Structure 1
Amino acid sequence: MQSRIRRAGGFAAVSLLALAAPWTGAAVAVPFAIVAGLAAFVVREGPVFELFARPGDRRDRRLNGLAGFALAATGLGLFATLPRVTMPVRVYAAAVILLAFGNLGTQAVRSITDDEFAHATAFVIVGSLAGVGAQVAVAVASTTPIAPPGFVFIAAVGALAAALLRSMLLERDDPLVMIAVALLSWLFVEITPEMTVEGIVLALGVTIALGYVSYALGTASVPGMVTGVLLGLLTIVLGGVGWFVVLIAFYAIGGLASKFRFEEKTTRGVAQENEGARGSGNVLANSAVALAAVVGYAATGHLSLPGVVFSVAFAGAVSTAMADTLASEIGGLYDDPRLITTLEPVEPGTDGAVTLHGELAGITGAGLVGVLAAIGMPVGDPVAGGALVLAAGVVGMTADSLLGAILEGGRIGNQTVNFLATLTGALAAAAGSVWLP
């Protein structure tokens, strides 16, 4: 275990080379390129090799992990410092450093406990602090203004995104994680509205607290919790409190619905896998379209579409997710389900099966999202906008059942069906927005 901590510390030390970018410009790529060359072709044994070697490196007698990390930092360094490229140098430095220090924090905590929640928490906290520190250091070196809210937001988003990606990828994929975090952070620097220190602290506090509650109640796995916190943070910052209320209502009600009479659902073979705890794939399948909509709303200054198109698309996607979840979780408790395409009786849990109780529960869920959107989101006329969101949710729920009956199982999986259904609901709402008063 100590070797893992030392290795992570070595990577963290190498990552600090990114702080030279304000002084060196494109030449910041040179030391990283040298490190990559030494790791790939020169260092085959000795203390340096033992410090940085991962298990696979010893087999290949080459420091592949260090070489990949340094090459990714080399490419990003060139990209961030080339003329006519607008990626801020602070974003580049933060992406490189938060990943390395987040890994160090994880390894330090891993030496104490095997708890997965503690590992993810350590990565996000240490990575966020390192990301803020990197941005401050770059700002001081380049004599640019220090913006605490923006720095904290970018560091937190980067650390959460990196933690999520690392939960789905292998350690050797860290170069991909670094590049993805840098590009994602760059996007949010360009579109994020003005924030206050109080606003960003409140957003972080609320989303982290609710994320922990979902994990503690068993409605989300650790990766699912990280995904939810990331999506919640982006929603409250890029959209607003009203948007966040709509999203969190789905998370809360959908999660509790999954736990409702869980043992009975297990007996009937219709229970959510992983004891009802939703993973990152499930959260993303239900929320990716909504995330794209809130990002589009924040970027309306760069687009030709009005903001109401994105706001009703967001609400339509969440309405669909809520309706489908309640229809499945409540409908699965009742007998005599029928296939939506033929209305023939089928076994409970059959893809594309519907029940009267499930449909009513789904419509109720879509209606609740419609009410919340009408109250707290810019959906045009509240009555018309709320009704549109309700209708979009029903359309998306029906699309989910049709896709389940026709395609699910042999051709596509449940998560793909959920994604396509929320996309249908979002598009239906967006198309209907042209008739809003």
Structure 2
Amino acid sequence: MNRRTRRAAAFAAVSLLALAAPLLGPATPAPFAAVAVLAAFAVREGRLFELFARPGDRRDRRLNGLAGFALGATGLAVFASIPAVSLSPSVFAAAVLIVGVGNLGTQASREYTDEGFLHATGFVLLGSLGGLLALVVVSAGAGEAVRLPAFVFLATSGALAAALLRSVLLEQDDPVVMVSVGLLCWLFAALVGDVTLARIGVALAVTAALGYVSYALGTASVAGMLTGVLLGLVTIVLGGFGWFAALIAFYAVGGLASKFRFEEKAERGVAQENEGARGTGNVLANSAVALVAVVGYAATDHAAMPADPFVFAFAGAVATAMADTLSSEIGGLFDNPRLVTTLERVPPGTDGAITLQGELAGIAGAGLVGALAAIGMPVGDPLVGGGVVVGAGFAGMTVDSLLGALVEGDRIGNQTVNFLATLSGALVAVALAFGVMLS
């Protein structure tokens, strides 16, 4: 076991203090606060210092990494120990163990391989197990119901989110990761209902398999794969398999379209960057609106809100993302593109340029999402609901082209334009749906 793995194991051992939450009650923050004080002011040398020290800690002669880790846990513990706050001790403990034990998984895998995919896999596997252990032990210790299916979802989604943050942040950012995961699990714990273990099992198997395939085919980076798996899992649990079918159709078809005749598109200057592998920014730009919609849909079970707007917003956003992706990836292979605002001929790759072939491909993509929504989502009359989704996808695709021609450039990038386009598609879908209902 190398030094990094020993250090990660020591941090994981400290995270186990969170399991004492049922016994400590209001004093739950105390152990982590004590660790933070000792790390920052007392332990300056010796074996204990060397066990926990990160490279920068030796320069400062202070265990900054351990102090930050413990302070992050202390902050979450304060929320979990206040009766008026609904953050449960089990969710607090899960967040702490997901980060502490997950980091051990990453470091252990680094002893055997330099493959980033396996590092992320190690984090997710051990982090999920640590989070699940915390949820079960703390809930049982507090006399609360042990909801195993919901706990598996919370632990896995938290570990995926933590691994994703880990991939874009630094090692010393443990407090940011821990607090973010705690808040996310807090939200999901309030929204997840009576979900079966079979549904969770199928969701995990399907999303993990598709995530691996997307990475193996080069259609997603490690961070993009983690983002897609997390969004897919959340969509299945909070929405349903019909919602997931529409979302995964976009990921699969859009990813393959990015790879289609990639060398030719690269020569023309219209190829997707990073050799067609979509990263976190690209995935979120195209899927953030859909994620908010499915979370909003789940929230309607707990609040007096209509569910239909969230259903159509989700489908409209996904249809827009599909239509825009196919329009760009297919249209970029053809000559004589025209600027959407003036219809003047422009060079291939010009922002806001469209081709007839690209527009037809985009409409076909929106049609696919519309058909899947009509089959698997509660959109009312299948023909009418599916038509609304197709219309929204076309409208969002057009908005993307208009924004590309009018505002995209140094100050507003492609990812921002994609987000605004999917938001437009979602709003158009809701407006069309209500217009149809009122007519």
The question of a shared fold, defined as TM-score above 0.5 by the shorter chain, is answered with: yes
**Contact 1:380–1:436 (CA<8 Å) still a contact in 2?**
no
Which residue matches 2:265?
Answer: 265
Q: CA deviation at 1:47?
A: 1.4
Partner of 1:132: 132
Distance 2:309 2:380 in 1: 10
Matches within 5 A, 1:331-410: 331-410=331-410
For the residue of structure 1 that corresponds to 2:301, the secondary structure is: helix
Post-superposition shift, 1:368?
1.1
Q: What is the aligned partner in structure 1 of residue 103 from structure 2?
A: 103
Amino acid in structure 1 at the alignment position of 2:302: H
Opposite residue 245 of structure 1, the aligned amino acid is: A
| Aligned mates of 1:303, 1:363 — CA distance in 2 | 36
Displacement of 1:408 in angstroms is: 1.3
Name 1:225's counterpart in structure 2. 225
TM superposition shift of 1:143? 2.3
C-alpha RMSD of matched pairs (Å)? 1.1
Query: 2:7 corresponds to which residue?
Result: 7
Say which SS state the counterpart of residue 301 (structure 1) adopts.
Answer: coil
Matched ranges for 1:1-40 at <5 A: 2-40=2-40
User: Per-residue deviation at 1:257?
Assistant: 0.4
**Tell me, which stretches of 5 or more residues in structure 1 are unaligned?**
none
AA aligned to 2:176 is L
List 4+ stretches of structure 1 deviating above 6 A. Answer: none
Whole-Å Cα distance in 2 between the matches of residues 427 and 26 of structure 1? 45
The alignment-based identity, stated in percent, is: 69
Q: How far apart, CA to CA, are the structure 1 residues paired with 2:365 and 2:145?
A: 46
Question: 2:17 matched to 1:46?
Answer: no
Structure 2, unaligned runs of 5 or more: none
Q: How far apart in 2 are the matches of 1:341 and 1:284?
A: 27
Give the TM-score taking structure 2 as reference length. Answer: 0.98
What corresponds to 2:74 in structure 1? 74
- Give the Cα–Cα distance (whole angstroms) in 1 for the partners of residues 105 and 410 of structure 2: 42
- After the TM superposition, which of the residue ranges 42-51 and 308-317 deviates more from structure 2? 42-51
SS at match of 2:17: helix
Range with greater deviation from structure 2 (46-55 or 9-18)? 46-55
**Alpha-carbon contact 1:381-1:436 (below 8 Å) kept:** no
Matched, 1:55 2:87: no
1:421 aligns with 2:410: no
Q: Is the 8 A contact 1:21 1:28 kept in 2?
A: yes
Tell me whether 77-86 or 155-164 shows the greater mean CA deviation.
Answer: 77-86
Counterpart position of 2:240: 240
Change (3 A) 1:213 1:226: same
**Larger mean Cα displacement after TM superposition, 302-311 or 340-349:** 302-311
The whole-number CA distance in structure 2 between the counterparts of 1:401 and 1:62 is 53
1:74-118 Cα offsets, whole Å, 9 max, x none, are 111010110211112111100001111010011001011001111
* Deviation (angstroms), 1:377: 0.3
Counterpart Cα distance in 2 of 1:140 and 1:379: 41
Report the CA distance between 1:435 and its aligned residue.
2.6
SS in 2 for 1:135: helix
In 2, Cα distance between equivalents of 1:300 and 1:143: 29
> How far apart are residue 399 of structure 1 and its match?
0.9
For residue 372 of structure 1, report the CA deviation from its aligned partner: 0.8
Q: How far did 1:138 drift? A: 0.7
Give secondary structure in 1 for the equivalent of 2:28: helix
Answer yes or no: is the 8 Å Cα contact 1:326–1:358 preserved in 2: yes
**SS in structure 2 opposite 1:302?**
coil
What's the CA shift string for 1:187-232, capped at 9, x where partnerless? 1111112111111111101110111111111111111111110000
Q: Partner amino acid for 1:350?
A: T
Separation (CA, whole Å) in 1 of partners of 2:436 and 2:344: 38
Which stretch of the first structure deviates more once superposed, 184-193 or 302-311?
Answer: 302-311
Q: Partner of 2:249 in structure 1?
A: 249
Deviates more, 1:22-31 or 1:137-146: 137-146
Q: 2:230 & 2:379 partners in 1: Cα distance?
A: 24
2:248 maps to a residue whose letter is: I
- CA–CA separation in structure 2 for the residues paired with 1:171 and 1:6: 15
Mapped to 1, the partners of 2:198 and 2:385 lie a distance apart of 31
C-alpha separation in 2, matches of 1:237 and 1:29:
32
Structure 2: which amino acid aligns with 1:174? D
- Indicate conservation of the 8 Å contact 1:324/1:397, yes or no: yes
Are the counterparts in 2 of residues 308 and 380 from structure 1 also a CA contact under 8 Å?
no
Q: 2:321 matched to which residue of 1?
A: 321
Superimposed CA distance per residue, residues 214-258 of structure 1 (whole angstroms, 9 cap, x where no aligned partner): 111111111111111000000011000100000000011001100
1:302 Cα shift?
3.4
Counterpart amino acid of residue 307 in structure 1: A
> Within 5 Å, which residues of 2 pair with 1:158-169?
158-169=158-169
| Distance (Å, rounded) in 2 between the aligned partners of 1:39 and 1:436 | 63
Alignment of 1:128-207 (within 5 A): 128-207=128-207
* 1:349-396 deviation per Cα after TM superposition (whole angstroms, max 9, x unaligned): 111111111111111111111111011101122111111111111111
| 1:44–1:62 CA contact under 8 A, matched in 2 | yes
